[in-house]
Structure 1
């Protein structure tokens, strides 16, 4: 168990909330500046610079969330459950590393373990949930981590069953610490193209809805990826001239779930940027005013963001290719700006899930609560508190509206659902307009049938109104009526025109070597036939009930 020093924490109360300091986990309730910390030394940058290894205690105190990079699978021969191993080249013993985490906690700062990274080879299988949760809890209790950040990239995002196993394990871990009254923090760092409505990170977001604390997407390294804005056009992530517009519009799209992006509430969205040109291929904000103005626009519409994230604290303290120090410019540009913003107001409105418009067949059973759930803003299940206004008469065809309501923490969520009660109708077959030669025999039921998907063959229930006099040239109308149903009998009808023609049409006798298309009429053996589709060489009267000739 890590000890907290209330006295030390008091020094930083001007910067951060110290909520949770009395427990074993330090979580953040207010704005955050997140920085990733390298568990290795001397990383070469995109512009030839260097990112040195640094001790945790050397990280600028305005970084109130520090993500340790990375928890991963070091050797597949050791198994597929990822873990964390402190790199000895940093120069810290495990005891010193633990003590430095404790020091950051005593200052009201959180230290999270980041899972993944660009070179992660994580491939979990169904059934690994318990093992992964156990390992996360072990590392948390051993080192004093305050949460976990999902930082899966590329193939690792969708590998094997990662999308279901990792969220399930994290729910177990969060629930484990909730029992002691503590908030094990869960965050994510998806590359923003994966945040579309059906993007690769959607399963993590939906499965951890009510469990994650905030999302800090990577708005860097994606080059020409961006967003289309009506009236503005395409805004690429790497367009420095439109940086303010990119920051504003991509954030606006995410916090409102518009422009085909998955919704992340404004008080849970942290904007991720590289700390220098060396830290990422693209995405560095050359003019901090672009971010200030974009954030102010979001604040003005009542949707201030939670903060900023950077890759990485090491690069913020690194040097360029000429060995000039980056001099912690990122934290200098954004630290005070973020911490002096009014913190986002937490949306305490409960959420309803599983409410979708539904179609049910008449006389079938319908339970309006099947698949429907509700959670309060903290992610606790409050499904039993759902009330429903309206009713559905499953014995009567029609459209019905149900209003679902649930209340928690003096906030209420409402959602309307349309339920359509429909009837599957029977159908006729073989009823089509027909031409016959005068004097030819005609059976109005030949080839005619009726059926229902559940009631079966109903041909015997057909009655016919009208007659055909085959001795007189003319057009005759027949009405076919089908009666169906048991307790509540109903009918459907269909009309057929039978044309009796004189012998003059015999000039149009069928010929075996002629080609016919749909609608062509021929006579053969005293009967008039109509082709239903292209045919050649198929003799009328020999193609059967469902053949080409009628």
Structure 2
């Protein structure tokens, strides 16, 4: 049986046993909007003060903390230079605005990585430095937790590292240990989120690391063992449903970003679980519904794969209610699907707040 046939057969075998929502352990709203705030650069969208972040956003991710070198593990967060960000508030006002947002029930996190922030924890020393340096940022501003936005070459899987439950690649093992250490240090209130690209998650349906003959990209699906290892501590996974190539869904078909079917197919994979490399005996287990959000560009300027408000809400409605689905039919109905993530708050303002205002009203209207 070829890979596509095997995937289709397994899709038919998957049931809707995981469609009962589980109460979230965090104190965030039932439906959340997550937004990235360009706190260390402007990126052409204009600077937004922390105090000016609209109330629609429930989780505010400060972008980005970056390492002093790729393998140092030493993460630094430098606020945007005033020359690049006119209107930049003082550090004291920035910290005070964070406290004010938290008093309103918002969560403010430091996001590590981004497009330019390659982080490779190749050694135990780098792991420990990562924990201490991230803790220093969290403590300095009184933040609620951490977002992992590793992209590029931060993660990979070594040849022979095929056991989802027991990874052996140092950059994966050390990241898992670092995240568990941070969770232990800050306790149950620590918010942990992740924003991987589809290449690092859903691509695992076809490829996992270098593969059995070593011919595949070793970065393929390399987030999967990290997500799996910290799933009990993970608040939200919001895979980036943008800047992506076509990805095979549970129906054995390829789906292309920009329309509702892509979002339904990609979200369905982490909500229902999926076979790694098409092997029905090696499955990435489903996440809880309250742990899953959909990552999107806030405007056409923010990234490839922009999806209109109507198409996003069609996808969300299909997943959460089972109504209005297109060609792709999800394996179950997921009423506990948590919400939406956007890159970014700045680009949303640049686009007259279409994303936050439209989707906040939509999410609030769901029962």
Q: Please, what TM-score do these two structures have when normalized by structure 2?
A: 0.74
| Cross-structure match for 2:189 | 183
Contact kept? 2:59, 2:106, Cα under 8 Å: yes
> Aligned match of 1:294 in 279, 301, 315?
315
How do 1:385-534 and structure 2 match up within 5 A?
A: none
Aligned mates of 1:80, 1:173 — CA distance in 2: 14
Aligned mates of 1:193, 1:94 — CA distance in 2: 36
Matched, 1:170 2:179: yes
How do 1:120-519 and structure 2 match up within 5 A?
A: 120-128=117-125, 129-158=127-156, 161-178=170-187, 182-195=188-201, 196-197=204-205, 198=208, 199-222=221-244, 224-228=245-249, 230=251, 233-238=253-258, 243-258=259-274, 260=276, 262=284, 263-280=286-303, 282-286=304-308, 288-300=309-321, 301-304=332-335, 305-318=337-350, 326-342=351-367
Provide Cα deviations, 1:465-506, integer angstroms capped at 9, x if missing partner.
Answer: xxxxxxxxxxxxxxxxxxxxxxxxxxxxxxxxxxxxxxxxxx
| Cross-structure match for 2:79 | 86
Aligned mates of 1:150, 1:339 — CA distance in 2: 27
Shift in CA distance, 229/302, structure 1 to aligned 2, threshold 3 Å: closer
Aligned mates of 1:132, 1:33 — CA distance in 2: 28
Q: What 5-or-longer segments of structure 2 have no aligned partner? A: 1-23, 158-168, 209-220, 277-282, 322-331
Q: CA deviation at 1:39?
A: 2.2
Q: What 5-or-longer segments of structure 1 have no aligned partner? A: 1-18, 21-25, 44-49, 319-325, 343-550
How do 1:20-35 and structure 2 match up within 5 A?
A: 28=28, 30-35=30-35
SS in 1 for 2:233: coil
Contact kept? 2:242, 2:257, Cα under 8 Å: yes
Contact kept? 2:247, 2:255, Cα under 8 Å: yes
Contact kept? 1:220, 1:273, Cα under 8 Å: yes
Contact kept? 1:117, 1:153, Cα under 8 Å: yes
Matched, 1:67 2:87: no
Q: CA deviation at 1:109?
A: 0.4
Shift in CA distance, 87/341, structure 1 to aligned 2, threshold 3 Å: same
Contact kept? 2:196, 2:239, Cα under 8 Å: yes
Aligned mates of 1:62, 1:230 — CA distance in 2: 35
Aligned mates of 1:314, 1:157 — CA distance in 2: 28
Aligned mates of 1:74, 1:316 — CA distance in 2: 30
Aligned mates of 2:293, 2:236 — CA distance in 1: 7
SS in 1 for 2:122: coil
Structure with larger Rg = 1
Please give the root-mean-square deviation of Cα atoms over the aligned residues, in Å. 2.5
SS in 1 for 2:153: helix
SS in 1 for 2:117: coil
Aligned mates of 1:114, 1:329 — CA distance in 2: 24
SS in 2 for 1:332: helix
Contact kept? 1:32, 1:339, Cα under 8 Å: no
Aligned mates of 1:184, 1:137 — CA distance in 2: 11
SS in 2 for 1:88: coil
Contact kept? 1:27, 1:184, Cα under 8 Å: no
Contact kept? 2:260, 2:314, Cα under 8 Å: yes
Aligned mates of 1:76, 1:208 — CA distance in 2: 23
Contact kept? 1:51, 1:314, Cα under 8 Å: yes
| Cross-structure match for 2:3 | none
Provide Cα deviations, 1:442-483, integer angstroms capped at 9, x if missing partner.
Answer: xxxxxxxxxxxxxxxxxxxxxxxxxxxxxxxxxxxxxxxxxx
Contact kept? 1:27, 1:185, Cα under 8 Å: no
Contact kept? 2:250, 2:274, Cα under 8 Å: no
Contact kept? 2:149, 2:196, Cα under 8 Å: yes
Q: CA deviation at 1:229?
A: 6.0
Aligned mates of 1:251, 1:259 — CA distance in 2: 15
Provide Cα deviations, 1:307-331, integer angstroms capped at 9, x if missing partner.
Answer: 000000111112xxxxxxx101111
SS in 1 for 2:240: coil
Larger RCO: 1 or 2 (CA < 8 Å, sep 6+): 2
Q: Please, what TM-score do these two structures have when normalized by structure 1?
A: 0.50
Q: CA deviation at 1:97?
A: 1.3
SS in 2 for 1:67: strand
Matched length: 294
